[in-house]
Structure 1
Amino acid sequence: MPKKIVKYLSKKGRYILGFVNLVLILLVVNFLAGNFGVFENTLMRVISCFVLIGFILLNLKIKTFYEQLKVKETSSIFGLVLIVFSFFMLFYFNFYIVWLASISLLVFGVMLMRPMENKDNPLFLSLFSSFFYTMFMVFVVNIPVLWNYLEKFSLVFTSGVGSITGKAMVLGPSVSGLWILFSILIAEVTIFIFSKKREDVKGFVSSIVGVFVAWLVFLTLLNYIGFDTTQDKINFQYVFFILGLIPLCFYYFQSSAYLPVFSWGKRVRKWNVVLVLILFFLSIFIVSLYPYSHVDVSEKKIMFYTINMLGTWDKPVYGRYGKDASGMFGMLPEYLNESGYSVSLYNGTVTSDVLSDVDVFVVINLNNSFSEDEHRAIWGFVERGGSLLVLGDHTDIAGIMHPLNDLLSPVGIRFRFDSGLPVGERWADCIEILNHPLGDGIENEYQIEISVGATLNVSGDAFPIILGKYGFSDHGNYLNSEMANLGDYVNNPGEQLGDVILAAGAFYGKGKVLVFGDTSSFQNLAIPYSYKLVHNVFTWLCSGDGKIVKYSKNIFSILALLVCLAVFLTYLKKEKKVAYLLTLALVLSVLTSAVVNPFLIEREHIGGEDVVYIDISHLERISIESYTSDATTGLMINLARNGYLPLMLNKFDREKISKSKILVLIAPTIPISRDEVYFLKNYMSNGGLIILSAGYQDKTPVSLLLNEFGFNIENIPLGPVPYVEENPEEHQNEPRFVDSWPITKGDGTPADSFYNIEIENKSYDLIMFTKYGLGGLIVIGDSQFLLDKNLESLYDYWPGNILFLKNIIDELKDRGVL
């Protein structure tokens, strides 16, 4: 018996290896597409990396490959280059479509590195399954109507399963397993295309039915198992992947899939090949391309409608502290003004004349419907090419839902009576922006700052833009009016789980409409984090993108793909090497669009005497969650009180810094390089101010900057200063430190002490300032001095530090530094 098994395995070895390869690639594809649940993107990429390394080792004999490299075999060298570049794509780019394309490139590279043998190639199905799935997802994320239909199919199908099983269930495609389903179906279609038994349609159909049966079993299990948390329920999708492999396995081995040998053979010189490759490249490239969005913002006018709304236009001022300190929308016009737009606040009747020279009309939390004449004027404005931005909120708070839906009646976007909630913390790894200019440069949920808002219904030509991929709809409750009609914060049966729509757009006439179900991203405390999203929003609204541009792109891409397919099937279906070249064309088109798209978006023009950047590019020891003890929310509020616009600096962008007035560094953990020190000196020389807050334990990363100006942070722990054991309120108007260390200066350093303390008849300087050129450097010998715990938080604040910070700013203004 063992001999028969060995003989069988020897005979079927390549088919078994081919199936193992296919399973590994499907696993990686679903990891990278985020189809297995709520996991951090970097973790998914690292896991995928290890699986791919295993895939490479499984298919290559290191000794044979080494011998090929020694003789400088061209295909092996080229294959190695492709593999290395695929890993570069995986970790350099921050878009999962590029990650998916990298898999096809890697498999092709491994194929090139395998010895050329006249035997079946066990990598062929892996290559084209990943190729077709990447193509599929390219069109899903770029053609919203396709995404809409797939979401509706998932919602209807899962709702039907819920009705049959007697327990309500409404799941979006990311939770229902629909994307996993398509990955397996695509693999089965690939097997059918290259099957030696292609006439066995019955077997193919049976395998398709088998996958749907597996899906049905999975959904039934998902509905009946009692999970501890909603996140556990979402992360259960690996079970469907395993179930789906069963029909795939049966079909694979019974189909006798043809695994052709890879060989370049003779060069193909037919014009048909060039035409197919060009058409295919253009199809993927054009559909993935952003619309051209370079605009002269100085010529663009934004009007905010300021009456009949829930919210205020307050900004932080002295006298309001703690939870009442931040205000709501007052900083939004400030940011747009600093960006170069012409901004106006309007509180009268809306007419066509009022909107005649406006480019973007903004309505926020409307709680009283517009009159018929106003409604007609607004939509006439949009139809002529204007843009309408509508911001709303959750659960019909203050009666805003019906007025907002009345306003949006001409387009297929509606506010729902619910709250969109994440299954994770603060939408971490739960949010997705489809391929749209709004997502340009957005790398994490903190740059979006969506909190709790309504989800949106989308129909007709309207399209989703920002999704709560792993969020849910929590139905509102009018009986809970004291808590703004909020629900129970639990995903109950019948409430949509997965792919709730948080922001959507639509075209109307020559203009466009953009709707957010939550106002948080545009509020005062969010703008320091979300300003890139805000920039993208107004850039897109002011751009020439419209219905004609969008539909022309999509129609051209689909027609190019159909012509490409027709030419291939008519003239080139026997030319195997063309199929391989298409995988390279796919990678090239996806990469090209990913590289070109950022250049099509207008860069931020923010800058001026009021702009302050708080650096986080050196992994400063601060929290980016608002109003936590180690956050800088209080610092931002105090800067705003003094007339500044604080923004977080995610990357050390020298152009941005050069246009700002103040740069704040709080306990960096990545060393400031010598080149950066020279840049910062030039920045100060031209009038910039650097505020550096660091204790002795954080001195090393900033030592080059300190040394350049003759400063040193001594290893003398002074701790919390002043030392107060009783009645601390008596000292609340004095500065307070958390973990202080004294600062010393060299003999030749011209510096002033802004704060010192005497301990046992010895004086210690804790804050020092040196002027350099038109600007200067402030050094604070306490890494925690500027944090919420010591300055101002949601329920507590220290008046002495608030006043002290104001005094420093006033002093520097008197000296001409600020």
Structure 2
Amino acid sequence: MKKPAGTIATIDTSRQVQASPPESAADRSTPSLGATLAALTLLCASWIVSGGCGLVGRPLGHALAWLATALVAVALPRGAGTGWQGRLVLALGIAAAVILNASHNEVVNLLGLAVLGGAACAAGPAGWLARRLLPAATAGPRDAPPPGGCPVDWRVIRIASHAVMLLAVYRFALAAIPWVWHLADWAGSLVGDLAAALWSRPISVGATYAGLDHLVLMAALVAGWLRDAPRPRLRRAILAVSAILSGQMLYLLCLSFATELAAALPAAPARPPADLYVPPDWFWGDAARSLLPWNLPILAVAWQLAVAAAMLRWTRWTGEREDAAAEIATTPEPAGENRMKARRGRPRAAVHTPSSSANDWLAWVPAGLALVLPLVAVFSPGGADLAGKTVLVFDQGVIDWDMPEHGRYGADSAGRFGMLPAFVESLGGRLVRSHKLEEAELAAADVLLLLHPNQPWPKETLERVWDFVRQGGSLLVTAGPRLQDAQGASSFNEVLQPLGMEVRFDTTVSETESWRQAIAAAAHPATLGLRGDRDRFGMAMAASIDISRRACPILVGRWGWSDPGSDFLLTNRAAWDAGERLGDLVLAAERRVGRGRVITLGDSGCLTNSGSVRAFRFTGRLLAYLADKAPSPQVWWRQLGGLLAVLCLCGFVVRGARPEAAATSALLLAGALLAAESISCRVWEVLPDGRRQTPNNLAYLSASHLEAYAESPWAPEGIDGLALTLMREGFLVLLADDLSPQRLQRAAMLLCVAPAREVTAAEQAAVGQFVERGGVLVAMAGAVEGRNTRSILEPFGLGTSTAFHRPGAGGEDAAPIGCIYLPYPETENFRSTVVFYAAWPVHIHGQSARTIACTEDKRPVVAASAKGKGFAVVIGDTCFGLNKLLENADGDALVGERVNANFWRWLVGSLPGRRPWRPPAYHPDTASANAAAERPDAAGSDEREEAQR
């Protein structure tokens, strides 16, 4: 029926179902899958970098961190990078993460991940840029959601990036503040003891294998989660902590059964016998066995990631649209008491939302703390040297003062400490040997060096040593696995125990060779800037050190175990058993006693003739630090200042630092840490000077450009034989980690073995000046590996041949010569023989160049060219200086009558100021390996056939 005009129509809503409006991004109370994935990727990558996943090689760790950076960038929710300013900030964050992850410092790698997460949040739709640079994006009705996505997504990523930031600060404090290291070591041992008591299984671990990295990161994540999550918080906290601790205890249970798990894995199927060696096929059982126990922490990582996913993904966050937060972000806060009154009426989640006022200086306090922290806890501007100092050596102990000499070959011919006096003198010091340590001798000494003493100590001698230290002297004790024989027993603990340190009766065994990539160095003047992946500390066969709370660790072996006794020293065989200390073994430590200082090394290998070749930078800094009484960042007042700065920084981050402030803090901390390390390393750099001897006795083996040799001791592709060959001629042989002019101008010889990294123009100029001033350059490279060697040799009129030319580039590909015996020298009235492993012809285009050895068809293989006061030599064989062509560890002759050792002896004898030496005469029947192989009746034919093979 038609209603009268003017009446109001009524609607019966009882029969009408109203449709709910679609849920907007701002209405969602759970984060998206992409945001959760990005947050979990940040957590997982941080554990990979810090060692939370177990032993991971540095190259693999960097690659996985870069992969994680790409995954985070892809998984970021819609709206990441609001406007071109937001996209610029996000791109800068990604670039910073990529660059910082290339560093060899794990703290810097972690900070790169924190920068990435903070930059993503700052560039998000509800971030700082959206509020400040794009006011139009946040203008409009209050009920309108921020453009581009759910604020909960960015809250989750912010919580994860803050947790990564806190883990980075913890790892920094672990290396820079000894107090924190002692606390972490105690906490790790406590966790292991609790797990041992809970499961009734023997477990002995430190902070690494106890999983403190897992617990620190998860504690930071829980703190941020509770801060931003809705009530009730106590129940949530109890559930989260229980789940985290349960996972850690289950992981430690699996760790205690690691040996049983390894034994239960199937062995590879047997292969039928074959006449020739065939590498075994890959088998999953062997691959899994190699991961035990070193990568078992992956189990804990998987559990903790599951807990983190449950916390972040399935928590119903605050149901508001963050109106209160937006109001705080856009409305200035009243001052004084009105501020507190205004805050009482706001929702709790909004109160914890950081203020967006750019003028709020409190928000940028973390950035200031991050900038100051490395200056307080790491920076070492002092520097020191050994000039005019005296090192007194107690000449009783496991000491061998022999030097390599001709006629004795192999590892045993290297001697022990024969080159140590020459090394100390190259640094400007003087080494004095004493049998009794009289008071007058101690009074004239700056450093007292005890090299593995093995005789009982007279009481009066011990008193003199302790008084020497208390009155301001420096004591360096080198220990090792405890030995006992008819001549005596190790007695270093008689000196150390009253000083708060004790060497354990064990042998530390590293999962990697010589603790490469398995050692952690503290922020000490002797270690700053030295990489632990290149055996620069000489701790191959060390004993662990038990230190008191007043001592400071210098070197800590993370990925190894303590094998009881010294059997490993004699048999070179060991296997980890449950109950043996796993990880975090102190290999070097320092303690202040009175006005003096004591440093203990778990191994004396860094001071030996062979060990000092690689570890001279560490030992040189250590001796200079002790002799000059140089300041250290580990003094108590700097530790206290660093600890306060760390606590304040962590407090600001836990409280909920703004994403842009957190990202800036991480970036500043990384930059300041790199700068402090770089400057300290440059200040503390030791530069041995061979010019103090006549003739100059310093020879460098280049190790700065990925040279084509292995640094593994006595590997077939190693250079130990070459180093001993030069030592037999009186040279102090060291590895050069750079080609700086300051280093080269003090040396007499530089040897390069096919560098794979490009030599810069500055380095080429430094090498040129080195030769012009009287130095000798010896470059060894074949045509295949000789691309970067050509740029070094070009100024001298020499060069290596080219194996392959680009199509259309012109030129003829070089023909290999191969394994061959050749006579030398080409221009003398006598000739001897030298053998090559894989010879290639070399180029000569300079007027002063001359051929030393060539083939019958006059293709030069060895050539030299003079320039200024020095000359350069090129050898067209990359393997010419390697062990497989000189000598092996057993000392057996590898080629003929040690013809290559004779060649080096002749070459060194031709240097200015050296005594000339003439090698044995050349015999025509050794002109080539092929010719010798065809004459079985020729003398030495069997050896030549072996060389040919």
Shorter chain as denominator, the TM-score bin is 0.7 to 0.9
Cα shift readout 1:47-69 (whole Å, capped 9, x = no counterpart): 1111121112221548x74x822
Residues 711 and 124 of structure 1: CA distance in aligned 2, closer, same or farther (over 3 Å): closer
Aligned amino acid, residue 407 of structure 2: G
2:707–2:755 contact (8 Å) kept in structure 1: yes
Native 8 Å contact 1:634 1:791 kept in 2: yes
- Counterpart of 1:206 in structure 2 is 239
Residue 767 of structure 2 aligns with which residue?
A: 680
Q: Given the superposition, is the C-alpha separation of residues 30 and 273 from structure 1 closer, same or farther in structure 2, using an over 3 Å criterion?
A: closer
Find the residue that maps to 1:325 and give its secondary structure. Answer: helix
Deviations 1:509-556 (A, max 9, x none): 222211111111221112111112112322332454569961101222
Q: Given the alignment, which residue of 15, 31, 38 partners 1:14?
A: 31
C-alpha distance 561-48 of structure 1, shift in aligned 2 (>3 A): closer
Equivalent in the alignment of 1:360? 447
Aligned residue for 1:727?
Answer: none
From 827, 831, 836, the equivalent of 1:737 is 836
Is the contact between residue 204 and residue 251 of structure 1 (CA under 8 Å) also seen in structure 2?
Answer: no
Q: CA deviation at 1:95?
A: 0.9
C-alpha distance 111-431 of structure 1, shift in aligned 2 (>3 A): same
Matched, 1:409 2:497: yes
Kept in 2: contact 1:292–1:544 (CA 8 A): no
Report SS of the residue matched to 1:695: coil
CA distance in 2, matches of 1:313, 1:186: 54
**CA shift for structure 1 position 387:** 1.5
Correspondence 1:589 to 2:589:
no
Are 1:629 and 1:789, in contact at CA under 8 Å, matched by a contact in 2?
yes
Shift of 1:671: 4.7
Aligned 1:93-492 pairs, distance under 5 A: 93-116=103-126, 118=146, 119-120=151-152, 121-122=154-155, 123-197=157-231, 200-224=233-257, 226-228=260-262, 229=289, 231-252=291-312, 256=316, 267-269=357-359, 278=368, 281-282=371-372, 284-307=373-396, 309-340=397-428, 342-398=429-485, 403-443=491-531, 444-476=533-565, 489-492=574-577
Q: CA deviation at 1:106?
A: 1.3
Output aligned runs, 1:483-562, within 5 Å.
489-544=574-629, 550-560=635-645
Cα offset for 1:678?
Answer: 4.2
Using the size of structure 2 for normalisation, the TM-score is 0.76
Distance 2:864 2:370 in 1: 61
Deviations 1:310-331 (A, max 9, x none): 1212221223222332111122
Tell me what 2:96 maps to: 85
Distance in 1 (CA, whole Å) between partners of 2:733 and 2:403 is 13
| More divergent stretch after superposition (103-112 vs 245-254) | 245-254
CA distance in 2, matches of 1:552, 1:673: 43
Q: CA deviation at 1:393?
A: 1.0
Task: Structure 2: state its 5+ residue gaps.
Answer: 1-18, 127-144, 263-288, 331-354, 691-695, 802-813, 824-830, 918-949
Alignment of 1:758-797 (within 5 A): 759=856, 762-795=857-890, 796-797=892-893
Show the counterpart of 1:813: 912
Q: Any stretches of 5+ residues in structure 1 without a counterpart?
A: 725-731
> Residue 749 of structure 1: which of 844, 847, 852 is its match?
847
Task: Name the aligned partner's letter for residue 889 of structure 2.
Answer: L
Whole-angstrom distance in 1 between the partners of 2:356 and 2:759: 55
TM-score (ref. length: structure 1): 0.87
Moved more, 801-810 or 30-39: 801-810
Q: Are the structure 2 counterparts of residues 157 and 402 from structure 1 closer, same or farther at C-alpha, using a change threshold of 3 Å?
A: farther
Change (3 A) 1:487 1:673: closer
2:76 alignment partner in structure 1: 59
**Which string of whole-angstrom CA distances, capped at 9 and with x for unpartnered residues, describes residues 622-679 of structure 1?**
1211222221111111111111111112333333123211111222334545664444
Partners of 1:102 and 1:587 within 8 A in 2: yes
Compute the displacement of 1:390 (Å). Answer: 0.7
Q: In structure 2, how many angstroms separate the alpha carbons of the residues matched to 1:18 and 1:34? A: 25
3-state SS of 1:439 partner: coil
**1:355 counterpart SS class:** helix
Residue 678 of structure 2 corresponds to: 598
- Are residues 194 and 643 of structure 1, via their aligned partners in 2, closer, same or farther at CA, if it must alter by over 3 Å? same
SS state of the match for residue 598, structure 1? helix
Q: Contact 1:508 / 1:547 at 8 angstroms: preserved in 2?
A: no
- In the TM superposition, residue 216 of structure 1 has moved relative to its aligned partner by 1.1
CA distance in 2 between counterparts of 1:530 and 1:80 reads 41
**CA shift for structure 1 position 583:** 4.6
Partner SS, residue 330 of structure 1? coil
Answer yes or no: is the 8 Å Cα contact 2:169–2:646 preserved in 1: no
Counterpart AA for 1:458: I
Post-superposition offset of 1:400:
7.6
SS at match of 2:213: helix
Alignment check: 8 A CA contact 2:173 2:643 kept = no
**Is this contact kept in 1: 2:178–2:639, CA < 8 A?**
no
CA distance in 2, matches of 1:142, 1:814: 48
SS at match of 2:751: strand
Q: Which position in structure 2 is the counterpart of 1:611?
A: 698
Secondary structure of the residue aligned to 1:14 is coil
Task: Specify which of 616, 622, 629 is matched with residue 709 of structure 2.
Answer: 622
Separation in 2, partners of 1:741, 1:16: 59
Distance apart, 1:689 and its partner CA: 0.9
For 1:657, the equivalent position in structure 2 comes to 744
Which residue of structure 2 aligns with residue 728 of structure 1? none
Contact 2:47 2:214 in 1 (8 A): yes
Q: CA deviation at 1:560?
A: 4.8
Going from structure 1 to structure 2, the CA distance change for 1:505 and 1:400 (only over 3 Å counts) comes to: farther
Distance 1:381 1:232, change over 3 A: same
Distance 1:813 1:452, change over 3 A: same
| Contact 1:616–1:649, Cα closer than 8 Å, also in 2 | yes
**Conserved in 2, the CA contact under 8 Å of 1:733 and 1:801?**
no
Distance 2:765 2:545 in 1: 50
How far apart are the structure 1 equivalents of 2:643 and 2:792? 56
1:8 shift after superposition:
11
**Distance in 1 separating the partners of 2:760 and 2:177:** 44
Counterpart amino acid of residue 457 in structure 1? D
Q: Report the CA distance shift for 1:157/1:562 in structure 2 as closer, same or farther (over 3 A).
A: closer
CA distance in 2, matches of 1:233, 1:564: 35
Deviations 1:335-389 (A, max 9, x none): 221122x222322322443222322211111101332222222222222222111
Distance in 2 (alpha carbons) for counterparts of 1:548 and 1:220: 39
Q: How does 1:688-767 map to 2 (within 5 A)?
A: 688-711=775-798, 715-722=814-821, 734-743=833-842, 745-746=844-845, 749-756=847-854, 759=856, 762-767=857-862
Q: Quote the offset at 1:140 in angstroms.
A: 2.3
CA distance, structure 2, for counterparts of residue 677 and residue 389 of structure 1: 39
- Supply the distance in 2 between the matched residues of 1:15 and 1:743 (Cα, whole angstroms): 63
Q: Which moved more, 1:670-679 or 1:37-46?
A: 670-679
Structure 1 CA distance, aligned partners of 2:91 and 2:433?
62
Give the SS at the match of 2:671.
helix
How far apart in 1 are the matches of 2:847 and 2:226?
Answer: 78
SS of the residue aligned with 2:908?
helix
Code of the residue aligned with 1:393 in structure 2: it is G
Instruction: Tell me how far apart the structure 2 counterparts of residues 221 and 108 of structure 1 sit (CA, whole Å).
Output: 36
